[in-house]
Structure formats: structure tokens, C-alpha cells
Amino acid sequence: MYVCGPTVYDHAHLGHAKTYVIMDVVARHLKLRGYQVRYARGFTDVGHIADGEEDRLASGARRLGITPMELADTYIWSFHDDMDALGVLRPNISARASCHVPRMITWIEDLIDLGCAYEAGDSVYFSVDRFADYGKLSQQASGMQQGSVDLDRGQDKRNPADFVLWRSVDSENPLRWPSPWGQGTPGSHVACSVMANSYLGKTFDIHGGGLGDLVPHNDCELAQSQAHNGVPSAKYWLLVGDLRVAGQRMSRSLGNHLTIKDALKLYSPEAIRYFLLSRPYRESVDFRRDELQAAQRYVDHLHQTVRHLRWRMQETLPSMGSGTAAFSSFASLPDYREDFCDAMDHDFDTARALTVIFDLVEEVGRTLTADREASLGTLSTMDKLFRDLAGDVLGILPETVGLSGEGKLVEQLIETLLELRSDHIAARQWSQADAIRSKLDEIGVTIQDGPQDTSWRLKGS
């Protein structure tokens, strides 16, 4: 699978996180299902330029008094740090567009020889008239009109939809390479085709990216790759819907973004992942703080349940008798693993997969409350489901969720205080209930009253 990476001229934001968390879960699930996954992701560190504008890396570097490659390195490492913090596993290959410019030049020469590209003015353009299916990807996805216009609006184009493969730049531009067409820089679309082809071959299984890049970027990729290779490039295109703010796509250029670093100051990595996975991946989602807060409550509830489960495992020795009966009872419950995989196998339906996880949370909670004799085998079966599905696939359950004996005592004391508070509420003793809440808040415990129960978490956790 190949996934278009970010343009590395600034810190990544939650809109980027939506794409890369979802593609991370796609790769994780395929591994769970027994596939060997080769995952390549590209960084755009050259060629991101619109008509009449300076390359964004060159512009940012000039503003800071550094070279464009210094700027790119800074934000590539920043991106890696963000992805690590979100639990996004590193791909097998992280490619940089700037390292593939010689291959891009050869690729463009091939397209000219095939009659699919032409020189005009100071640029080289792909001729969409020579590729009958240009625009078919966006047409299939959303009924958009064929012939979407590229950002470059060169006056020498034969067709307004023709897109730039190479453009000449002046000697003052620090991002330039020698080519048969003079000193210049590749277009922003050709880089992804070349990087994907270099590492995955002419045809690979999955091309991932953001739906916001469908027009013109993915249309251009598909056209130039198939024209060059004579075969389709990707069998499946998985394009992730936008994260929106007040109806507009979250974007650095619009200034309506929340960086991943700032988001992690407000919410846990697991809560952010839960929020981003809680809708079908193709859907655009509005950024809402109340939904992120709800996501935090859900993952807190999951983590507390798993902590209780693992404490019980520590206390329980393998036994026969009633423990064996309990194991048989659990084994006869609905097959959560099968339901989870069924959801994910149907176009990676993470929303339905999360529902399965929280059905399991409720089932495990009932078992821990009602059955003090559950065997270690029963408890281990439950724990493995959580590890495999919530942990290894969805990434919303860290391995370190279990607490030490001291942590267990702290949680038991907090739970006891919450039970006492519930008794006060039931008896309409509001002042006593409020006093418990205030004291817990003073010592750093945040509680949230939900429609069914009360959850809590330590501030900053």
C-alpha cells in the first residue's frame, strides 16, 4: 500500500491525523488477517507550488533564514514525533520526493516519447487528451466533471486540464535541478507516481490518501501512472474524508487547524484515535470538542475495564470446577472477534468495529461483577480479545494500561468514594455529593456523570 504523505513546510494537524490514523488501522487489520504488508508513505519536500506562488518550502526557509532541506528535515521529524505519539506505526518505507528527482526526469522523458506529454513555454505538461479515462476516479467517487483544472494555469497549455510535470525556475530558487528542459523543479503530482512505482511496482494493491486530494492530485496520479506503465497503478483507492471546521476543510493555508501537538495537550492519544475512527473513513467529520470529550470518556471506560480485568487475572489461579463452567459460558457468548473482523472486512468499518469493542466492554464488566469464580482461562480469553482488537488493530488500548498494586489501591479508593457519592445522590443529599466531587477535583481526579454511570480519570492522563 502507498499513502501520500504531507507537504513538510509546517507542523501536522488533526486533519492529517485523520488520514494517517485510518491508514495505520488498515495496515494493522490486514496484518491481523494474515497479510504481509509493505507500506510506503511519501513526503512532499519539493514541487508544491501553485501558479504565481513560490514553493512553500522555499518560502518558509527564506523567512527563517535556513535552507529548504533544513526546513523539510525539521518538519519530517516533527511529523514522525506526532505519529509516534498517536500510536501510528512507522511504515516500511518513508520516501522523500527530493530524493527521486532524477527518476522523475526519466519518467517525464518516457511520457514525452509516448506522446502523452509535451513541452510548452518553460514547462512540460501531461496531455489529458491522450488519456481517455482522465478524471474517471473523481467521477466514480463523487460524480465530479471530467477535466478538473490543475493549479498551474500556464498560458501555453493545449487543454486547461493539462497538468504540469516539470517547470523551469530562475537561478534564485534554491529548489532546482538540471534537466533536458533547463533548471527546474518537478510538478507536485509526478512525485507520488514515481515513489509508489519505485517501491511497489507498476501495479500495487492499495493507494491511500485524503479525499480532499482527489481533484486534481489523484486523478493526475492515476492518469500519468497508467499512461506510463500501460497498466492500472492501484487496485483499490482508499481516500479518507476531510476533517472540517465550521464546514470548511481543516487546512494550514486557511489557518483553521489544530496541530497534533496542541491536540495532545488536551486529549489522550487514544481519545483522538477513537474520535477519528468513530465514523466510516470516507465520511467528512466536523471537529467538535464535545465529541472529543465523549471519546475521552469512552476510552477511559475501556481502560478502567481492562485494568480491573488484569487485576483479577493477577488474583486468580488456574482452577477447574466452577472456573471451567465459567470458561464454557464465556465461550458460548457472541463471537466478538468474528463480529469485529466482519466489520473491518467490509470496507474497514471502524465505527462498527468500535461498537463491537464496547459491547465486549459491557460483557466483561458484567462478568467481573457477577462472577467471582471466573477462571484464569476465561479472564485471559477476554484480555486477548482486548489486546488483539482494541490494542493491535485500533490502537486505543496501550500495553501499559494495567496499574501496579499501589495504583490498584488508589483506584479502589476512588471507586469507593464514587459509590458513596452515588448513595448521597440517591438520598438527595446534594451538598455531601458535591463535597466529594470537589475533594476529588482538588486532588486531581476529574469525574464525568453520564446517562448510565459515572466515569473518572486522573487529570493530565
C-alpha cell at 217: 492530485
Residue 164 β-bridge partners: 125
Share of the chain above pLDDT 90, in %: 63
Q: Which of 373, 94, 131, 79 is nearest to 252 (CA)?
A: 79
Query: Cα–Cα distance between 368 and 345 in angstroms, integer?
Result: 30
pLDDT at 40: 98
pLDDT at 444: 76
* In contact, 7 and 44? CB cutoff 8 Å: yes
Indicate if the pLDDT at residue 277 is higher than 90: yes
184-186 sheet: strands from edge to edge: 117-120, 123-126, 163-168, 184-186
Q: What is the pLDDT of residues 344-381, one digit of tens each?
A: 999 999 999 999 999 999 999 888 877 677 788 888 88
Indicate if the pLDDT at residue 180 is higher than 50: yes
CA distances in angstroms from 281 to 5, 129, 207, 400, listed in the order given = 17, 33, 14, 28
The model carries a pTM of 0.86
CA distances in angstroms from 321 to 177, 370, 382, listed in the order given = 76, 17, 19
pLDDT at 314: 82
Q: What is the pLDDT of residues 220-254, one digit of tens each?
A: 999 999 999 999 999 999 999 999 998 899 988 78
pLDDT at 325: 47
In which band, very low, low, confident or very high, does the pLDDT at 256 lie, cut at 50, 70 and 90?
confident
Q: What is the pLDDT of residues 78-136, one digit of tens each?
A: 999 999 999 999 999 999 999 999 999 999 999 999 999 999 988 999 999 999 999 98
What region does 295 belong to: left with phi over 0, alpha with psi -120 to 50, or beta?
alpha
Q: Where are the alpha helices (DSSP H) in 86-210?
A: 101-113, 136-142, 190-200
Q: Give the range among 51-60, 103-112, 158-167, 194-203 with minimum mean pLDDT.
A: 51-60
* In contact, 401 and 303? CB cutoff 8 Å: yes
Q: What is the pLDDT of residues 379-431, one digit of tens each?
A: 888 999 999 999 999 999 998 886 555 556 677 787 788 889 988 888 999 99
Q: Give the range among 104-108, 268-272, 328-332 with minimum mean pLDDT.
A: 328-332
In degrees, rounded to 5, the angle at the alpha carbon of residue 157 between the alpha carbons of residues 152 and 160 is 65
Residue 458 β-bridge partners: 445
In which band, very low, low, confident or very high, does the pLDDT at 146 lie, cut at 50, 70 and 90?
very low
Q: Three-state DSSP class for 448?
A: strand
C-alpha cell at 445: 481526579
Indicate if the pLDDT at residue 326 is higher than 60: no
Q: What is the pLDDT of residues 15-54, one digit of tens each?
A: 999 999 999 999 999 999 999 999 999 999 986 665 456 6
C-alpha cell at 84: 509516534
pLDDT at 365: 87
Q: Which is higher by pLDDT, 28 or 58?
A: 28
Query: Cα–Cα distance between 404 and 421 in angstroms, integer?
Result: 26
Parallel/antiparallel/unpaired status of strands 123-126 and 163-168: antiparallel
Q: How many residues does the chain have?
A: 461
Query: Cα–Cα distance between 33 and 30 in angstroms, integer?
Result: 5
Rg of the Cα atoms in the chain? 26
| Peptide bond just before 180 cis, omega within 30 deg | no
Indicate if the pLDDT at residue 154 is higher than 90: no
pLDDT at 255: 82
Share of the chain above pLDDT 70, in %: 87
| φ, ψ (nearest 5 deg) of residue 25 | -70, -35
Average pLDDT, the chain: 88
| φ, ψ (nearest 5 deg) of residue 287 | -70, 120
Helix axes 405-426, 430-442, angle to 10 degrees: 160
Amino acid at 148: S
